[in-house]
Amino acid sequence: MDAVLTPLLDILRPIGITEPVLQFMLVNAILGVSIYLTLHAGMFSLASAGFMAIGAYVGALLTQQSDWPLWAALLGGMAAAGVIAVPIGLPTLRLRDIYLAIATIGFGEVVRVLILNFDDIAASVLTTLQGERVRFRLIEGARGIKGIPTLTETWHLILFLIVLGYLLTRLHRSRFGRAMAAIRQDETVAANMGINVVYVKNMVFILSAVLAGAAGVFSAHLTRIITPAAFGFDKAVDILAFAVLGGTSTWIGPIVGAMVLTAMPEVLRFLKEFRGVFNGLVLLVVIVYLPGGLVNPAGWSRLWQRLGRAQTASPSPSTGVD
């Protein structure tokens, strides 16, 4: 693996992508796929940040407190996220569009608040049980869990994504994959076709949660400290941007989108205080000119035509109501 990685990093480093940046790009790629799955089944869910938090905290506690190896903690974090996704998904997935988005954002916010107050809640429960004041410190609220061992290595992430890509290709060709696509087209029609819509939607939601959990475990073992603030509303919106900027027509899109959006602030470091302005500008311009995302051949060819037309100085077509 190093034989590939070292030359790759030698190319990337001059433009500002050092190994940690590459690692965050790969972790975010997993998150991109996580939200892509739900979007691909027609669900506008923003729960990935919340499940990422669950994965991160469970994984960190397993390696730090219980000395589990990374692979075991990874499975633990993914399982925890998946298990919690069941009771969340069952009632929530009846909602659609923006209502689902807000409900899932709400889930993330509740997770964040629970992490912030977990120790206090546990302490007061223990105090009531034992009848004397008990102090309890495990997940440390806003202080964050510190000193998490840096067990994640770049090849873990690359391997994970390769396996994920293989599974996704298989998924899309399977009955289940076709059922997902059918639900996205029209839920009622899909149900009439004999697809168990509730089952498919919940399964996809769980799969998405499991992937977000995995990203959380990997991420916690890169950043060395996890705080609830890192998994809030901002993160949920960032993850959505990964998928949409990349394009949601194939699973490659969210991966590309995540990597581009993660690398951008680092690559733009030379701009100093104008970095943030450019970041916003690039996001805006890309989405306006390529509404289908970066990985969307039709969008590029349309853009190419427009550019060609602009060169021949023909006036832009008159616009009516869209």
Partner 1 sequence: MDTLIQQGINAISLGAIYSLFALGYAMVFSILGVLNLAHSAIFMLGAFFGLIAIDQWSLPLWLAFPIAMLGAGLVSVGLELVAFRPLRRRNAARISQLISSIGAAILIVNITQLIFRQIYNSTEAYLPRDLIPSDPIVIESLGLRVQPVRMLIVVIALVLMVLLQYLVNRVRIGQHMRAVAFNQRIAALFGINVSRIFIFTFFLAGVLGGAAGMFYGVVFLNVTPFIGEDVALIGLTAIVLGGMGSIPGAVLGGFLVAGLQIFSIVIGGSSFRNAVVFLLLFIILLIRPQGLLGQPESTRA
Partner 2 sequence: MRKVCLALSFLLIGVLALPVLAQDMETPQMGWWDECATPENLPDTVTIGVVFGLSGPISVYGGPQQQAVQLAVDEINESGYLGEGTTLVAMFEDSAGDAEQAIAAMTKLVEEDQVVAVIGPTLSTEAFSADPVAQENGTVVMGVSNTAIGLTDMGDFVFRDSLPESSVIPGTIAQATEVLGLEKVGVLYGNDDDFTLSGYDVFVQALEDNNVAITNEQTFARGDVDFNPQLTALLADEPDALVVSALAAEAVQIITQARDLGYEGPIIGGNGLNSPSVLEQSGDASNGVIVGAAWNIASPDPLSEVWVSNYQAAYDATPDQFATQAYTGAWLMATAIRCGDSADRTAVRDALAAIQDFPTPLGTFSFDEDRNPVHTPVVQIAQNGAFGVLGAEE
Binds partner 1 by CB under 8 A, chosen from 241, 264, 267, 268: 241
Our finding on whether 113 is near partner 1 (CB under 8 A) is yes
Our finding on whether 105 is near partner 2 (CB under 8 A) is no
Site of tokens 């000119």 = 289
User: Binding string to partner 1 for residues 90 to 109, with x set by CB under 8 A, is what?
Assistant: -xx-xxx-xx--xx-xxx-x
Distance in angstroms (rounded) separating the CA atoms of residues 302 and 304: 5
Residue 142 amino acid letter: A
Distance in angstroms (rounded) separating the CA atoms of residues 100 and 120: 30
Our finding on whether 245 is near partner 1 (CB under 8 A) is yes
Distance in angstroms (rounded) separating the CA atoms of residues 268 and 250: 27
DSSP string, 82-116: HHHHHHHHHHHTTS-HHHHHHHHHHHHHHHHHHHH
Residue 112 amino acid letter: R
CA angle 128, 111, 81 (to 5 degrees): 110
Beta bridge partners of 53: none
Binds partner 2 by CB under 8 A, chosen from 225, 241, 283, 287: 225
288 binds, among partner 1, partner 2, none (CB under 5 to 8 A by kind): partner 1
CA angle 303, 306, 310 (to 5 degrees): 140
Our finding on whether 125 is near partner 1 (CB under 8 A) is no
User: Binding string to partner 1 for residues 28 to 57, with x set by CB under 8 A, is what?
Assistant: -----------x----x-------------
Number of neighbours of residue 126 by Cβ within 10 angstroms? 14
Helix, strand or coil, per DSSP, at residue 224: coil
96 binds, among partner 1, partner 2, none (CB under 5 to 8 A by kind): partner 1
Q: What HEC string does 4-61 produce?
A: HHHHHHHHHHHHCCCHHHHHHHHHHHHHHHHHHHHHHCCCCCCCHHHHHHHHHHHHHH
Our finding on whether 134 is near partner 2 (CB under 8 A) is no
36 binds, among partner 1, partner 2, none (CB under 5 to 8 A by kind): none
280 binds, among partner 1, partner 2, none (CB under 5 to 8 A by kind): partner 1
Binding site for partner 2 (CB under 8 A): 13, 16, 18-21, 24, 116-117, 141-144, 146-147, 150, 222-225, 227-230, 265-266, 269, 272-273, 275-276
Binding site for partner 1 (CB under 8 A): 39, 44, 91-92, 94-96, 98-99, 102-103, 105-107, 109-110, 113-114, 116-117, 120, 233-234, 237, 240-241, 244-245, 248, 273-274, 276-277, 279-285, 287-288, 291-293, 319-322
